[in-house]
Amino acid sequence: MKRKNKIINIFCGIIFLIQLSSCNNTSTGIEKTIRDTSRPKEFRKEEIADSLTTVRTLDLALKIAMKNKTQDKFTFHSDSLEINYGYLFSKTIKHLIIKMNFQRGVFANIYKLKDNSFEEVCSKDIMQLAYIGDTIQDVNGDGQLDYLFHWYPPSGCCARDIFDVYLQETNGNFFDEFEFINLTFSPKEKVVRGRCYGREAPFYKYKWNGSELDTIEYIFVPDSTNGNNYVRKRHEDEKEKGIVLKQLPDEYKKLGDFE
């Protein structure tokens, strides 16, 4: 079943309550903070101040980037701000990545140079305690570099290593977010393997079809509901009979222990 530009782990059942937001404009967050009268007054003041700092820092970063847009490559680093500019994702299109790290969260904004100005093509923010890092690599094996945002929720019962993936389009834009948990990427196979969230959670396998994903299978581990057998199913529906397996297929063993 094809599913284009959607969060993948709806099927895995994890509720990401701690994620602040995805692909939102920072100024919208400021307006929401100002309107929210349910929070204590002093706390609201701190939020507004932090939001204003974020906007001012982003504005400063864009001004710095504009002054250096004719360069093939430019970088800037400080305690709270990181700027990377150049042919980061493409040999023909220049991109700009602005990352800001504040107490209230980590913010990443990606722009492409178009008509001598910067056009935002992707943005992401997450609470600071959850942030691990970001990576640029080809995820789906189409030869184009994609953007991966890596984070780990600070609370939960089980393993929850998460990558939010933004596939690059041919025009330098990015598709909507795909979210994966406890996984490995195999671009050569155009496959994603991982394990869902929870105790005795099933393994999953998806295959890229361009910018879409096809669900290949779920492997359910031995428990009281499947007669202590591994069971291969096409879907995550527990009512589906599936195929009984004597052992876990080797391709999933390299994923490690996610209990």
DSSP secondary structure letters along 118-140: EEEEEEEEE-GGGEEEEEEE-SS
The per-residue pLDDT for 41 is: 56
Identify the H or E element spanning 155.
none
pLDDT tens figures, 93-122:
999 999 999 988 999 999 999 999 999 999
pLDDT tens figures, 176-187:
999 999 999 999
Spans of all domains in the chain: 2-185
Whether this model's pTM surpasses 0.95: no
- Placement of tokens 């004719």 in the chain: 70
Which of 12, 71, 61, 24 lies closest to 196, judged by CA? Answer: 12
Q: What token pair was written down for 38?
A: 């349910």
The per-residue pLDDT for 185 is: 95
* Collapsed DSSP state (helix, strand, coil) of residue 194: strand
The per-residue pLDDT for 49 is: 62
User: Across the 259 residues of the chain, what is the mean pLDDT of every consecutive 10-residue run?
Assistant: 43 39 36 44 57 89 97 95 98 97 92 97 95 97 97 93 97 97 96 94 95 95 85 85 92 73
The per-residue pLDDT for 140 is: 97
Which of 154, 100, 162, 101 lies closest to 129, judged by CA? Answer: 154
Which of 197, 125, 130, 210 lies closest to 168, judged by CA? Answer: 210
The per-residue pLDDT for 101 is: 94
Taking CB atoms within 8 Å and a gap of at least 24, the contacts of 79-82 are 81/57
Tell me the C-alpha to C-alpha distance, in Å, between residue 164 and each of 10, 109, 182.
Answer: 13, 14, 12
Output Rg (C-alpha) for the chain, integer angstroms: 21
